Amino acid sequence: MFARVLTGGLVGVDSYRIEVEVDCCGGIGQMQIVGLPGASVKESQDRVRSAIKACGHLLPPAKKWVINMAPADTRKDGPSYDLPIAVGVLASCGFVPVNNLSKLWMIGELGLNGAVRSVSGVLPLAMSCLRSGASGIIVPDENAEEAALVKGLTVYPVSHLRQAILIVEDVKNGAAFDGGYQHDFQFEVSNVVPFPDFSDVKGQSSARRALEIAAAGRHNVLMVGPPGAGKSMLAERLPGIMPPLSFEESLDLTKLYSVAGLLNNGPALIKQRPFRSPHHSSSVAGLIGGGKNPRPGEISLSHQGILFLDELTEFTRSHLDNLRQPLETRKVTISRATQALTYPASFLLVGACNPCPCGHRGDPVRYCVCTPAQADRYWARLSGPLLDRIDIHVEVHRLNEEELAKRDPAESSESMRLRVLRAVQRQLTRNIARDSTFSYNGQLSHDMINKVCLIDEQTRRFLARSISGLGLSARAYDRVLRMGRTIADLDDAEAVTITHLAEAIRYRVLGRAAA
């Protein structure tokens, strides 16, 4: 007897439909899985046999099951196919009716006792299930909240293979799960755990202003200063002044974390922007993504949030140069011989480093012991093209005696966040491309720059003269213009003036000198 069960597979952060075809024919009790199965899929036959036995069913002797996973030209990995294979085997033997199999998707790992265990990547699979026109999806109990994020899809959570069999017999035997996340999303976002406050930071008015501009327009930042000046402290407070995630952004981020396997036993929906701070010893696969079984790297896990690279000059130069393309395209493509995976990587890069190997170059208190050659080698670890893609270069100075002794709290994150939100709101109503997509000022295309960054002839000549005089690139011209637009938005100004561009250019001088 022949049976077909529907499930899904993952390619990057997207999913595609897989048909698990099972044919029961004469043989010697063997299960043969074809269709480019990985090692974990081939091992599923032993888990399936024990799980079926735990449900009280005895497979007929002298039979052979050929299990084809179509399409057969894509590799299937992971234990998530256990449940559809088990249901397909039971249906091919006549233990389960096949009437409802064409209406349901199913996914889950099986234990030897028939328990259905959680798997990763359920959210993109649920989205693909809805697009395919299926009436519902059977998922493990632990993944029910995640699958229920897809509006319009009926989710049937199960904890045992026996429950899945009952649902296949009649969907009325299962209780549909309703998470209700979309309705309560705004309330939940407003009650997430707050980030540290900028009021804890003494002094550093220039760095605070730079980070405010970065948060408002998504401009990458490099902070340079002596050890203990407060670079890490400033970076950790940056997420607290960024606008909250929209539901669409949260869903996009949750899908990515689901594929990475970071949602198991955690929240079903990511409600706050990520702040990732990998160590400088991270491998290129850990930072960019990839590996034997490709997974998203830190730059993708920072999607819609912040990637903080402390001690930036200690990272391997080749690793840092791999950031250049994602900083422009806001995505990363990992190419392999058999497939190419694309992960989103729209992150705000914040780097921090010392001005020289000893950390005291330009320090009025401590004497620098580094030779010019040592300082040059130190900065040579950062390539010019990478520095050119960082909009804001700001010096974080040692606090003086008056700033250290000051007891009054500095400006809070809340007041800074209100200015950022006003600037973002101006962008939301203005930075809309022809295809109806939105871009922050720091992500504007060249065509959009000409549309929204309007300047008069005098201002244009000032900008061109400044870029030429400082020896900056044509890319820097566009980036300064984008940053000037953000500064104007923070000032509630319609036009970008010379004053706004002069402040933007001031943040490029450090990068020119360092490169």
- pLDDT at residue 488, as a whole number: 94
Q: Nearest CA to 439 among 330, 325, 288, 301?
A: 330
What residue spans of 58-192 are helical by DSSP H? 82-92, 122-132, 144-147, 161-169, 181-189
Residues 90 and 220 in one domain: no
Residues 361 and 270 in one domain: yes
8 Å CB contact between 403 and 203: yes
Whether 492 is in a domain gets the answer no
Token readout for 422 is 């006003």
Tally the C-alpha atoms within 13 A of residue 43's C-alpha that lie toward its C-beta. 11
Residues 147 and 251 in one domain: no
Range of the domain at 77: 2-173
Beta bridge partners of residue 350, listed in sequence order: 221, 308
Residues 161 and 269 in one domain: no
Whether 127 is in a domain gets the answer yes
Beta strands in 302-444 (DSSP E): 306-310, 331-335, 340-344, 348-353, 392-395
Count of structural domains, the chain: 2
Give the phi and the psi of residue 131 in degrees, each rounded to 5: -65, -30
Residues 259 and 395 in one domain: yes
- pLDDT at residue 515, as a whole number: 42
Secondary structure class of 340 (helix, strand, coil): strand
- pLDDT at residue 514, as a whole number: 44
Residues 355 and 246 in one domain: yes
Distance between CA atoms of 147 and 465, rounded to whole angstroms? 55
The CATH number of the domain holding residue 66 is 3.30.230.10
- pLDDT at residue 411, as a whole number: 86
Positive/negative CA dihedral, 281, 284, 285, 287 = positive
Q: pLDDT tens digits, residue range 118-139? A: 999 999 999 999 999 998 999 9
The C-alpha angle with vertex 231 and arms to 320 and 209, in degrees rounded to 5, equals: 100
Percentage of residues of the chain with pLDDT beyond 70: 95
Residues 59 and 100 in one domain: yes
Q: Nearest CA to 147 among 135, 133, 159, 157?
A: 157
- pLDDT at residue 512, as a whole number: 43
Q: Nearest CA to 162 among 120, 127, 114?
A: 114
Residues 296 and 419 in one domain: yes
Distance between CA atoms of 380 and 483, rounded to whole angstroms? 26
Distance between CA atoms of 512 and 515, rounded to whole angstroms? 5
- pLDDT at residue 237, as a whole number: 92
- pLDDT at residue 29, as a whole number: 74
The CATH number of the domain holding residue 220 is 3.40.50.300
Pick out the chain residues at pLDDT < 70: 179-193, 264-267, 337, 510-515
Residues 144 and 274 in one domain: no
- pLDDT at residue 471, as a whole number: 83
Tally the C-alpha atoms within 13 A of residue 314's C-alpha that lie toward its C-beta. 14
Give the phi and the psi of residue 137 in degrees, each rounded to 5: -140, 140
Residues 87 and 164 in one domain: yes
Residues 204 and 165 in one domain: no
Percentage of residues of the chain with pLDDT beyond 90: 49
- pLDDT at residue 174, as a whole number: 84
8 Å CB contact between 109 and 80: yes
Of how many residues is the chain composed? 515
